[in-house]
A and B are shown apart, each in its own frame.
Chain A
Amino acid sequence: MAIEPLPHTYPFRFVDRTVEVTGPASGRVRAVVTAGQRLPAYALPGTLCEMLAQAVLLIEGGDADLGRSGFLTGISDFQIERLPDPGDILTIDVRLAGRLGSTVKFEGEIRDDAGQKVAAGALTVKKGTASPESAP
């Protein structure tokens, strides 16, 4: 499945394609870590959080406008087992944890191609009404 609707572009796009959608707001996304993502170690935890957030956006609907009108409002219980290396193929599993009005919480897990856990955690997203023009 193509994922062009994501508003993010290289080098800030950290996911490549949706592998499967398993249910409402739940599914699996594939990502290839490129050499360009060889960020300093202190920056990579943030990159992994963003990778999970982009996977959530894809699973939630993959819409460029929606992507610019939703806000990441919380990161919780995020644990990193190891930092990925360039060339790693990562699989991101996302599951809807709960929804109340416009506030949605997802749980996600990132694994490498050997099945080893790279990171896991939860994200809370609040859908807003900001127009694409007003987004940064």
Chain B
Amino acid sequence: MEQAELKARVKELIVRQLKLEVAPDSIKDSAPLFGESADGLGLDSIDALELVLGVEKEFGIKVQDEEVGVTAFASVDALCNFIQSKAA
């Protein structure tokens, strides 16, 4: 899967899974998904679990370690890299 296609799928997954009222395209690739940031989404630990479940359902990849999750879900770019590393 091409990087651009994967990023689009990941952004759609984030919006759908978290029921966000933003356009998937408006999520910046490198912006932090969690915590307070002007260009980030400001997600919290509850959202993290929802994202983990979404990634498992969409890509068949399980994340059970919280430390792995913190790194893997840092941004859209990080999540795409994580998915590609697991798919390789």
Given known contacts A101-B45, A103-B49, what 16 new A-B pairs fall within 8 Å (CB)?
A73-B46, A97-B53, A98-B52, A98-B56, A99-B49, A100-B45, A100-B49, A100-B52, A100-B64, A100-B69, A101-B66, A102-B45, A104-B49, A105-B49, A105-B53, A124-B46
What are some 18 contacts across the A-B interface (CB < 8 A)?
Answer: A74-B46, A97-B53, A98-B49, A98-B52, A98-B53, A99-B49, A99-B64, A100-B48, A100-B49, A100-B64, A100-B66, A101-B66, A103-B46, A103-B48, A103-B49, A105-B53, A124-B46, A126-B46
- Bitwise interface map of A from 102 to 118 toward B, beta carbon under 8 Å scored 1, else 0: 11110000000000000
Interface residues, chain B, CB within 8 Å of chain A? 45-46, 48-50, 52-53, 56, 63-64, 66, 69
Interface residues on A, range: 10 to 19
